[in-house]
Amino acid sequence: MFLFGLLILKDIFFWAINITSSAGGLGGSGHFLRETVLAANDSKYKIAVIPVEGIITGAVLEGAHDMVTLVKEQLKMAGEDDDVKAVLLKVDSPGGEVMASDEISRAIAEFQKDVRKPVIASFGSLAASGGYYVSAPCQWIVANELTITGSIGVIMHGYNYRGLMDKLGVRPEVYKSGRFKDMMSGDKSKEEISQEERDMIQALINTSYNRFKEVVATGRQQAKQKNNTKGRSLVRDWEQYADGRILTGADAFKHGFVDELGSFDTAVKQAEKLAGIPKAKLVRYDQPVSLANLLKWFAKSEPPKMKIDLGIDLPKLEAGRMYFLSPALYH
């Protein structure tokens, strides 16, 4: 039985080595991603498709890299490949962490400035809050008329459970170095939360919110300049619609938050047009199967779990952390 198990592990070892080799290995170019062709289209020119799907986070969810690192690496590869003439950002996200959204947004803006290749955003069913934040610097934005987008705003979420503690006869004992060291603590009574503390937290929210509006205004203005008379401009009173409300794609188009209504194919055609090419091969960058990840998977000792896929990633909001997140997902 032991010998049989060793033979199986040997087969798995060589299978993993073969997959890694066929994917191009992990060396050579210095990149940990490998190119995959989505549609050849009989063209030497390429459009790199970069997905931003699910909750935008700086945490490592699957594999060995976080979303921010993955997006930056994909942009780097697209910039170094002379055959890549444009990037298509495929967004289907309710938003996420403030820092992660801002880093991706900055990376896209810098890519267009330094590499001078257009980035076109294609919205799926959901591109709200942080999903819109990362798209705002793009030269062109395409949304379906039924896309849920907008939700421009910031939220910091938490629970106060002091009332429950009082009913149970539990009293917190807190020792702190300064009077604000326990800000946002869930065991503080209503009387212990000063107006000064509330004002400081609101100031943090306002700083991130003002940054969000700046990214939107700057991104849309620069896109309009690059597109000349094409594309859409933000309406004069656009900030009235930046109060956290969600918008349909049709509403976003009306108010100038997106440039065009259509599908993914519409975005591809627009990318070809902005890049000045007749047609293009669609490629994406994937993480190849590695022996390390395979062995890590086999090393897991947890019992089997059954997961029900609802089609969305439900966020777990952490106290004290600010989010660009659509309200449709956390109520």
Query: For the domain that residue 67 is a member of, what is the CATH number?
Result: 3.90.226.10
Q: What is the pTM of this model?
A: 0.83
pLDDT of residue 180: 93
Catalytic residues: 129, 181
Query: In this model, does residue 123 exceed pLDDT 80?
Result: yes
Domain for residue 14, yes or no? Answer: no
Domain for residue 124, yes or no? Answer: yes
Alpha-carbon gap, residue 142 to 266, rounded angstroms: 7
Chain segment 135-170, per-residue pLDDT in tens: 999 999 999 999 999 999 999 988 899 999 999 999
Q: What percent of the chain has pLDDT over 70?
A: 79
Chain segment 174-196, per-residue pLDDT in tens: 999 999 999 999 999 999 999 99
Domain for residue 300, yes or no? Answer: no
Mean pLDDT of 61-75: 87
pLDDT of residue 319: 67
Domain for residue 137, yes or no? Answer: yes
Which of the four pLDDT bands, split at 50, 70 and 90, describes residue 318? confident
Domain for residue 2, yes or no? Answer: no
The lowest-confidence range among 79-88, 296-305, 318-327 is 296-305
Domain for residue 165, yes or no? Answer: yes
Domain for residue 206, yes or no? Answer: yes
Task: Give me the chain's average pLDDT, please.
Answer: 86
Chain segment 21-52, per-residue pLDDT in tens: 334 333 346 788 999 999 999 999 999 999 99
Q: Which structural domain, as residue segments, surrounds residue 193? A: 30-295+313-329
Domain for residue 286, yes or no? Answer: yes
Residue that wins the pLDDT comparison between 65 and 212: 212
Count of structural domains within the chain: 1
